[in-house]
Amino acid sequence: MEITKGKVKSALKIVLYAPEGFGKSTFMSQLPDPVFIDTEGSTKQLDVARFGDMMQDWNEILTAVHYVIDHPDCCKTLVIDTADWAEQACIAYTVSQGGQNIKSIEDYGYGKGYVYVQENFQKLLSLLDKVIALNINVAFTAHAQMRKFEQPDEMGAYDRWELKLSKKDSPILKEWADIVLFGNYKTLVYEDSKTKTKKAQGGERIMYTTHHACWDAKNRHGLPDQLPFKYEAIAHLFSNVDKPAKTEKKEEKKKEEKPAKKTTPEIKIEIENDGVADMNIPDDLKKLMLDNGVAGWEVRTVVSNKGVYPYDTLIQDYDPGFIQNALINQWDKMFKLIIQNRSDVSDAVPFD
């Protein structure tokens, strides 16, 4: 018997789930050379390769997977979009195999119907393992839903995000995957110093890579707990990404870093042209910006990067409470973010 040692390179099994309209399909379209099994018609507005316009028949889904196995040169990534709609096709197939007395999955009685669905869904995953063996990545998208969760040994209950799958299929899909990513919107909450009321701002899209009490996630690649919702954040994980593409990215990065090393006089020229003194903003903020040599576009860049307001929104159009609490009261943090942007540092800390 042969004994091997060290890391084994393999195609990836990835699951991405998030609320509807989050951009899951668009994200997956950036994976290496993808072909989609579109079960809900979510790729109609995307320029991607797909099996037909919409696949809602279980046998058609399995046939598409068999095609990839028989024609491994057709793609580098197979995307099933989405897992929960594929499960509905699996349920419909299971019902059709039950005979004349079975009109719904509940008609099997005693939960047997869901056991049969699990067995059929497991067959799909086993078939996809053959795709992985051909060094073709397999990716699932899925919708997220919030459920009330109760710990058996704890008092009380709380809400948590889960895959929108049955209680039998969800665990086996998470176990099968190498990476389970949960995407959600990051909301920034600040307190108005005058009214003491709390307001929510923002909506930056991020993805979580590790388990939390409020969501399921995992990875076997040492990813940070939280990443921006961009393909570039996980692109390095794909072994079948073309090497020339990586080289081009490195060269582009070097070219981008050179302009970042601006001298102080150049920055002052930009500030003078920005017209800070003429802005219709609170005097306290105006003084901070002028004293620290900060241009209006620099403030708007930081605020837009955090997903609070679009870049085109003028500072004077910001909510007064946001200006007071996030910009003036926390100017030290704000200024640090501006300095980081000048140095092309992207790991900025969010507002409190």
3-state secondary structure 51-110: CCCCCCCHHHHHHHHHHHHHCHHHCCEEEEECHHHHHHHHHHHHHHCCCCCCCCHHHHCC
8 Å CB contact between 140 and 83: yes
Q: Taking Cα atoms as reference points, which of 345, 341, 344 lies closest to residue 257?
A: 344
pLDDT in tens, the chain (352 residues): 888 787 778 899 999 999 988 899 999 999 999 999 999 988 988 999 999 878 889 999 999 999 999 999 999 999 999 999 999 999 999 999 888 888 888 888 888 888 999 999 999 999 999 999 999 999 999 999 988 776 665 556 677 889 999 888 999 999 999 999 999 988 766 666 677 676 666 678 999 999 888 888 999 888 999 999 999 999 988 854 443 333 344 444 444 444 443 333 333 333 333 567 778 888 888 889 888 888 888 888 888 777 787 777 888 888 888 888 888 988 888 888 888 877 643 343 344 4
- What distance lies between CA 246 and its chain's CA centroid? 22
Give Cβ neighbours of residue 25 (< 8 Å, ≥ 6 apart).
36, 42, 43, 46, 81, 141
* Amino acid letter for position 215: W
13-241 maps to which CATH number? 3.40.50
Regarding pTM above 0.75, the answer is no
In 3-state terms, what secondary structure has residue 9?
coil
Q: Token pair of 152, please?
A: 């058996």
Tell me the domain boundaries of the chain. 13-241, 250-342
**H-only helix segments in the chain:** 24-28, 58-70, 83-96, 112-133, 169-176, 243-260, 264-274, 283-291, 296-305, 320-322, 331-342
Q: Taking Cα atoms as reference points, which of 120, 119, 125, 134 lies closest to residue 77?
A: 134
Which DSSP category does 112 fall into?
H
Residues belonging to the chain = 352
